[in-house]
Structures are given as C-alpha cells and as structure tokens.
Structure 1
C-alpha cells in the first residue's frame, strides 16, 4: 500500500498542571478536558512521584493525524515498538467497508522512524497501511515476541478463525494457539509474554460478537495461559464482564488485568459495570490468586495497561493515559485532546512513549529511567 513520508516533526514542551487534591471539593478532582480542537497533550500531576517520572522537561511530538483528512481511527490498539528496526506497529479501530454488505475491516500501520543525530527525537517517519496477513483476522492487541510481534487475531464470522499468531520479520505468520479444546476463542484482545518461562498470557472477551464480525461466543470471558513447552492452554482467571488489558509487574510476581464491562461492543454503556484494574498474585505453578481491586479508571475504561521499571501502572483510558503507583494511588494523567481518549500506548527508547489517540499518534519524551520492563523487549 502507499507509504506516507513525514519530516520536520516539531518537538514541543508539554504543559504540566500540578493538582492539589486536598484543595478540591471533598478531596476529589474535577475532570479536566483538553480543547477538542487542540493537537497538544496536557499532563496532570497529582503527586511528587509523577513529577519524578516526568523529568524536568517532558516534550511531545504529534507524529500523525487524520483529523483533517479521512478522520479514520488508524491509531487504536497493539502499539508495539521494535527497537531493532526502529518501527512501530499499530492496529486500527473498526474501519467501515466500502461495500454495504461486507464486514468492517482493521488495518495495521507500520511506522518507521529516523532519529535525530544529536538526540532521541524523531526527525522523520514513513507510514504504511497494511492489510493483515492471512490468519491474522481482525487484529487487536500485540506484544514483542522473538524477532517480531505476537498478534491477537479476533477472528472472522467463519469458524476456526482467531487466536494468537506470531508475525516474524520477513516471513509469513505462524499460528501459536487458535482454539481451546476445539472451541473457538471469542475474540482474543490482549497478550503478554513471561520472560521467566516464555508462557503466553492473554484475554478473550466477546467484543467481536457484539461488534457484529464474530460468531456467537462458545466460551466465557476468560484469561488464558499458553505453555509453549507442553502445548497446554489453561484457563487462569474468570468472573470478568469484559477482560481486556493484561501486564506483569516487574519480577512477574503479580499480574494486572483490566475489566472494561462498562463498554459493550454494540456501543452501549452501563456505568454500574466495571471500569476496573484487578491485581493477582502469580504462584510458582502459574496459578492466579488473591484477586484484588487495584484501581478504577477516573474517566472511561482502562484498556491497554503496562508497568514501567518502577512498578507504576499505566492504562489508556477515556482521559488519555492514567498512571497509578504500585499501591494503586492515581499519581498523574497524560490528557489526550479530542474526547476519544487512548485505547493503547507503548514505551519506546529510554523515557519514550507512543500514545494512540484514534485519529492521532503522539510521541512523548519523559524523564530518563521511565520505560517498560526492558526484559520483555525481544522475548
């Protein structure tokens, strides 16, 4: 497909607003909304812990935007950075088909960066929109895996589709796990890989069926672990309205899983349902125990979630990216303008974040030392 080249990307400071929670009414914080027509991010800092993460001069670059052209939501999920290639892979939200009788589609964006010689800033980029390769039907989440990416394929209306597929560099995709005891998964959503033993953990809500492109579910909304050594695919957690994002804490003694039950795939919302991140302890036998409510999203739902090297938990929400310390206290928010929030994001090089805003993609540079657990890159 056609490649778009963009150069001379501006690097701008991010306004940081320090919020005194004690001064707000009853100790709560009033919602903050960026101007809908703005392209600039804003940071809300509720605690000195977050100020340390930000560093002395956080900056932003708007890398890509479709707001003045197609308005298509190309920057939605996955958001996987390949450091060896200096490339970013992002899956779109549902794109309307050109035919009224066809199902919606999802495209993969491959964005290759050229860095400035004197800094980590991005000087230019090349953006290519790709059709998913065979097998990776309606891709959603993804994670670094070996020399490529492990994609979540939500599947199509046809039986026998969906699951996890490994997309290596310069080679066709390889199916990893595509069913549970001959039953199709619902619509695999997000995935993380253990550095300790290579186990693959993933969530499987029923959003594909609710969005009209997947068969009626054959399984509950559950979380699974696939053992690459013996081929066992095991249910490790249930009881979710809509299990969604998943990530490990540093050391992998704890796993975080979000429940986005507030949002139904058909567009409906029920504010009495979960918009919640739960924490679980991971036992030596890879069982999940001690389910604990970790955090509730201040705005919207907690979609993609990740931990930094210090154990802080980040999640894409209706506000942008909300950040909690390891104790579950909200310490800051990177506010995304436009009212669409952020479904997912990822860490790049040291202190770097890429933030998906549906129609816009940003690069943020925070303080040095703020990064995803580096041992997960290149699993």
Structure 2
C-alpha cells in the first residue's frame, strides 16, 4: 500500500530532526514545501547484510519513503531554493494509449505554448520504419489559474508538418521566430536539422541533412551556443536500435553547425551512445548525456554508461575538451533508466529526464533533488521563470518552482 505524502513527510521530518544535520533539523522544525519529502542520505548509507538492495536501476525507482508520486524528493538543502516556498507539481495532459510527449519540448513565449514530439520507434509511440512520429502543442493559457497537484487534461493539438520532418527527437528555440527541430530520419529518409514555423501552415526549412555527403546515423538533440549562436547537436544510433534506420555509418559524436556558413565539424567523440546536450549560461561548459546502458534491441547493460559528462568549451575553436564525469545516475523504474534530455537553470543547476522523473544536480554534480514522477521523463523545458514543463511519454507535468532557465535552455 502506498503511504500518503503527508505521513511520509512527517515521518522523515521527525527522523531528520532527531538524527540529521543542522539544515535538516531546521527544515523539520518549520515545514517542508508542499508535495515534498525530505530524504536524509545518511539514512540509507548503510543497508546491512539483510538490506533490500535494488537489483536493477531499470526495474525500480529509489523511493525509500514509499511516497505516492508525483512529489518532490529533497536530498540537499540547495533543492529548497530550487523549489521555493510554495511549489506545485501537476499532471496537465494525458493519453494512456499514446506516448505523445516524449522529446523536443520547446516553449514559445509569444504563444504561451509548448511544442513537443511523440515517442519515435518506442513503446506506445505508434511510429516505426513505415510511420512517422507526431509533433504536438499545448497552450498553457488553457490551464486553470491556480494549480495544486490535482490532475487536469488540457487539449493537445497535432501539427501538420511537411514530409521533410521525419522522426523528430530534439528541439530548441525559438530560433529567429522558429522551432529548431532535429530529426532522426526514417528508413532511407535522412536525419536533419530544420526550422519550422510554429504557426500554420508550419512551413519548414531544412538547414542540414548530411556530413559531406553521408547521412547521419539518427540525430538526437540540439542546443544553440549562448554566445556564438552556433548549433551543437548529437548523433547516435537509436534509430537503428529501434528498427527505423539503417546500420550506422559513423561514430556517435557531437557536431557543430555554423548556421551562417553551413560549415559542420565534429567537436566531441568517444561515446557509447551520446544523447542529450546543454550549455551553462555563459557557454563555457557543455554537458552531454551518454545512455549506453540502454541498447534498444540489444537490451539493457548496466555496466555501460548512464552518465552525464562535462566539458570545457574552447573559446576559440569551440571544441569540447577536458571531459570529466559530472554525474552517474541511479536512473529509476522503466526500461529507460538513463539520463536523457538535459537542461540548465540560471543558478547552474542541471536537470535531466530519467526513469523515475527529473533528477537535479548542483553545478558541482551533487544530486540535490528529484521531481519524482514514478514514470519516465525523457526531457523537459522551462516555460519562462518558475515553470518547468516535463515530458513523461503518456503524460505532461508542470512543476511550478522558484528557478529560471539559462539562455536557450529548451
């Protein structure tokens, strides 16, 4: 039986008051923010010979309080600043039969709308080598004025896109008034980077669909560098692993596209399966997720990466250098127990979609909290200050928190 969130909060508050460090006693002595649970890392540091250890990061999330999702899981006092005094976490759209909200979330402030793509080639995606995935839109103005965690289900509109847009998996922007989409391609149709008008008739302009005459494997994610304006994107093999693209022709790599000249070059390589990408607000640090543990038809291998790497961005060449491990995730329940899409806020905190929701690290790589959904999130986007829209396959959640996006965080 699930334990109500209030009971868990009170129980953990009592434990923390008696045994935790000063900040936890201070929190316990006052009150936790709404929909949140305090988890003291020292409470599970030693589980003992008869402990209930998790056999896999892919079949169970780490929820030691047994709290009913969704809720905020606090590991460090820094997460309290992220949440603010009155956060809320609400399911705002759902369709249990269709994974309509997988990736590529982009917030367009002029419309107060979020655009996103359905699952491409995976469970409930209704897409494969013979069928394209879908790009949808929700209008946040359709939400009630006040949210308190009670689920609502606002309308989802499907975009009618040109045939040049095949298997959308990533996106950012707006860029010069357009959605900047990155596609994985389908069958012989090439992966591409394209500008798409967010307004009907949603005309598209393809910016890139090859590397010196060779098709990319299956493009995955894209971000705009906050100072140079160049486009950085990841290419990996998930199209092949999900049976809708041919065998790979090139290594899994990160590329840079100069949108003014069309010049493209590799800036980072040596990944197992690179995936999401993001920059700090000053553009000096890049983050790339490596989701090698998830192998599509090859299966799951927990000895492979479920890792976020950090890089220095060379101020002249924009090559990625000095690779180091930023975080290794404990993943979470589902077949996608990996860090997928990634975003950064103005304080330098890093957010990544994982198997049990959104994990949040500070700039030093310490896990400070989770937006625990109990289900997979592949990506999320800030919808202006204080609103984080979270893709969760068959659901979309809105977290109202106290932080803001860094530049080009979508």
User: Into which bin does the TM-score normalised by the smaller protein fall?
Assistant: 0.7 to 0.9
Q: Is 1:103 the equivalent of 2:138?
A: no
Report the number of matched residues: 354
Q: Specify the alignment match of 2:105 in structure 1.
A: 79
Choose from 234, 249, 270 the match for 2:265: 234
Further displaced range: 102-111 or 14-23: 102-111
1:169 to 2:206 alignment: no
**Matched ranges for 1:20-31 at <5 A:** 20-26=40-46, 31=62
Of residues 325-334 and 52-61 in structure 1, the stretch that sits farther from structure 2 once superposed is 52-61
Question: Which residue does the alignment assign to 2:185?
Answer: 155
Change (3 A) 1:183 1:98: closer
Does 2:73 match 1:44? yes
Which of 311, 317, 337 does residue 354 from structure 2 map onto? 317
Counterparts of 2:143 and 2:396 in 1: how far apart (Å)? Answer: 19
State the match for 2:396 in structure 1: 361
**How do 1:130-145 residues align onto structure 2 when only pairs under 5 Å count?**
130-144=159-173, 145=175
Cα root mean square deviation, aligned: 2.8
Cα distance in 2, alignment partners of residues 146 and 120 from structure 1: 32
Check 1:136–1:350 CA distance in 2 against 1; reply closer, same or farther (3 A cut): same
Cα separation, 2, equivalents of 1:265 and 1:179: 24
Larger strand share, 1 or 2: 1
How does 1:109-128 map onto structure 2 within 5 Å? Answer: 109-114=136-141, 125-128=154-157
Q: Is the 8 A contact 1:34 1:42 kept in 2?
A: no
CA 1:102–1:187 in structure 2 vs 1: closer, same or farther (change >3 Å)? closer
Deviation at 1:198, TM superposition (A): 1.3
Report whether the alignment pairs 1:291 with 2:323: yes
Q: Which residue of 2 aligns with 1:10?
A: none
Give the match's secondary structure for 1:183: coil
Q: Within the alignment, does 1:185 sit opposite 2:216 as a pair?
A: yes
Give 1:348's aligned residue: 383
Gaps of 5+ in 2: 1-32, 55-61, 332-336
TM-score normalized by structure 2? 0.80
SS at match of 1:290: strand
Q: Does 1:372 align with 2:405?
A: yes
Match of 2:368 in 1: 331
| Residue 309 (structure 1) shift | 0.3
In structure 2, what is the Cα distance between the partners aligned to 1:232 and 1:53? 39
Matching residue of 2:18: none
Following the alignment from structure 2 to structure 1, what is the Cα–Cα distance between the partners of residues 125 and 353? Answer: 27
Q: Distance in 1 between matches of 2:64 and 2:223?
A: 31
57-66 or 126-135: which moved more? Answer: 126-135
Query: Are 1:270 and 2:307 matched, yes or no?
Result: no
Residue 61 (structure 1) aligned with residue 81 (structure 2)? no
TM-score by length of 1: 0.86
Once the two structures are superposed, residues 304-348 of structure 1 have per-residue CA deviations (whole angstroms, 9 ceiling, x without a partner) of 0011000011000012100111111100011112xx321111111
Evaluate the alpha carbon distance shift between residue 116 and residue 293 of structure 1 in structure 2; reply closer, same or farther with a 3 A threshold. Answer: closer
1:17 Cα deviation after fit: 0.8
Question: Cα offset for 1:119?
Answer: 6.7
Name the structure with the higher helix share: 2
In 2: Cα distance, 1:206 partner to 1:165 partner: 20
| Larger displacement relative to structure 2 (117-126 or 344-353) | 117-126
Distance in structure 1 (CA, Å) of the matches to 2:78 and 2:125: 46
Shift in Å at residue 194 of structure 1?
A: 1.5
SS in 1 for 2:218: coil
C-alpha separation in 2, matches of 1:124 and 1:259:
33
Q: Distance in 2 between matches of 1:239 and 1:94?
A: 25
Q: Does the aligned pair in 1 maintain the 2:352–2:358 contact within 8 Å?
A: yes
CA distance in 1, matches of 2:266, 2:129: 34
CA change 1:137–1:88 in 2 (3 A) is same
| SS of aligned partner of 1:190 | strand
Unmatched segments (≥5 aa) in structure 1: 1-12
Q: Is the 8 A contact 1:132 1:139 kept in 2?
A: no
Q: Distance in 2 between matches of 1:114 and 1:155?
A: 33
